[in-house]
Amino acid sequence: MAKEKISVVVPCYNEEESLPLFYEEVCRVAKEMKYVEFEFLFINDGSKDSTLSILRDFSKKDKRVRYISFSRNFGKEAGMYAGLSNATGDYVCIMDADMQDPPEMLIKMYELIEKENYDCVALYSSRHDDYSLLRKFFTSCWYKLIGAISSVPQQPGARDYRLMKRRMVDAIVDMGEYNRYTKGIFGFVGFNTKWIDYIPPQRVAGKSKFNFFKLFKYALEGILAFSTTPLVISAIIGLIFCLISFIVIIFIIWKTLVYGDPVSGWPSLACMIMFMGGLQLFFFGIMGMYLAKVYLEVKKRPIYISKETEKDL
Ligand code: UDP
Ligand code: MG
């Protein structure tokens, strides 16, 4: 019987220091897993260092190595989409290039998916010892929030490191949306997923590409892509304020009729106007964010643009 094939998808952005170490380790694991075939699909996400030339070298000497090099930096989400849609394996695994997703764990993941017939084995981390207190706080608040406002299940602390069967990969690739929040897409497509808890090691070399601002944008993306509850909440709050103002108007008319019309109370009036103005702008902002997503979606821009692949060598 022909061997099954695992495609390992690796998004890389300025990973010249980590790549040689990663490649060595992933080859060692592949050697251990003799019973399967491997394909390594690296995505060069517009790196500015020598990542691309390292990938060219890997591909020249190892037939299992394929790569797609983007015309600029499109982000990790685009990298994962390119990898998933071009992988040819019966199984596809997404791994970071910095060894925070230890290739060694693939052995156990494959065993689980094979023997216990899961569609996907995914990793999450219940402890974040390396996070600052502030990041821990925001992360836990975010998961509580998304759990409350979204119907798509999301595992707290989920990483992108996972091994999936072909049918799940096809379902993900079929979701060709431009605003990609892959962690939500994994939950949306469903399938039988086995979760393994682990503590990710430190990055083997180089620096993390995600600063506070990027993480904040990513978190917002998750909410906008998988929940419309903020729109409902703003509509409900708007309705409550309408009711309150109606009651206040009745009260003022009654007061004027009974006690006359002394001109007073302008500071409270000014405060109310400012408060309502702020609230309206805030809700317009929420609506605007959803509208912006629709705007980008209808343009149907490509998720990534490939400039070079191993076929060009
Ligand atoms: N990455 C990418 N494009 C980007 C940013 C990151 O392909 O614009 C890759 C990066 O090379 C790495 C993975 O995504 O393989 C995870 O990035 P990183 O380790 O910086 O994130 P962290 O582990 O700190 O969340
Ligand atoms: Mg990392």
In ligand 1, which atom is closest to the CA atom of 13? 11
Find the 55 Cα to ligand 1 centroid distance in Å: 16
Q: How far is the CA of 76 from the centre of ligand 1 (A)?
A: 6
From the CA of 12, which ligand is nearest? 1
**Res 203: pLDDT:** 86
Instruction: Give the ligand whose atoms come closest to the C-alpha of residue 42.
Output: 1
- Partners of 163 in beta bridges: 93, 121
| DSSP SS3 for 10 | strand
Residue nearest to atom 24 of ligand 1 (CA): 208
Euclidean distance between CA atoms 95 and 69, whole angstroms: 17
77 lines ligand 1 (CB under 6 A): no
159 lines ligand 1 (CB under 6 A): no
Q: What is the pLDDT of residues 72-83, one digit of tens each?
A: 999 999 999 999
Report CA 292 to chain centroid distance, whole Å.
Answer: 18
The H-or-E segment that residue 234 falls in is: helix 229-259
The span from the CA of 220 to the CA of 217, in Å, is 5
E strands along 54-152, which residues?
Answer: 65-70, 91-94, 120-124
How confident is the model at residue 309, as a pLDDT? 94
Q: Give the chain's residues under pLDDT 50.
A: none
| CA–centroid distance for 86 within its chain | 19
The rounded distance, in Å, linking the Cα atoms of 196 and 105 is 10
Q: What is the pLDDT of residue 201?
A: 87
Please tell me the distance from the alpha carbon of residue 224 to that of residue 216, in angstroms, as a whole number: 12
**Residue 43 Cα: closest atom of ligand 1:** 7
Question: What ligand is nearest to the CA atom of residue 130?
Answer: 1
Query: Is any atom of ligand 1 closer than 6 Å to the C-beta of 79?
Result: yes
Greatest CA span in the chain, whole angstroms?
95
Architecture of domain 5-212+303-312: Alpha-Beta Complex (3.90)
The dihedral region occupied by 273, where left means phi > 0, alpha psi between -120 and 50, and beta the remainder, is: alpha
In angstroms, what is the span from residue 79 Cα to ligand 1's centroid?
10
Coil/strand/helix, residue 202: coil
Cα-to-centroid distance, 159 and ligand 2 (Å): 10
Q: Whose CA is nearest to atom 12 of ligand 1?
A: 96
Distance between CA atoms of 58 and 49, rounded to whole angstroms? Answer: 16
Ordered by start, the domain boundaries in the chain are 5-212+303-312, 229-298
Ligand nearest to the CA of 81: 1
Q: What is the DSSP letter of 48?
A: S
How do residues 2-52 score in pLDDT, each as one tens digit?
Answer: 889 999 999 999 999 999 999 999 999 999 999 999 999 999 999 999 999
194 CA from centroid of ligand 1 (Å)? 24
CA distance 281 to 287: 10
Closest atom of ligand 1 relative to the 200 alpha carbon: 23
- Judge contact between 113 and 122, C-beta under 8 A: no
Measured between alpha carbons, how far is 212 from 219 in angstroms, rounded to an integer?
10
User: Cα–Cα distance between 252 and 183 in angstroms, integer?
Assistant: 52
| Best residue among 9, 209, 304 to mutate for probing ligand 1, ranked by most atoms within 8 Å of CB | 209
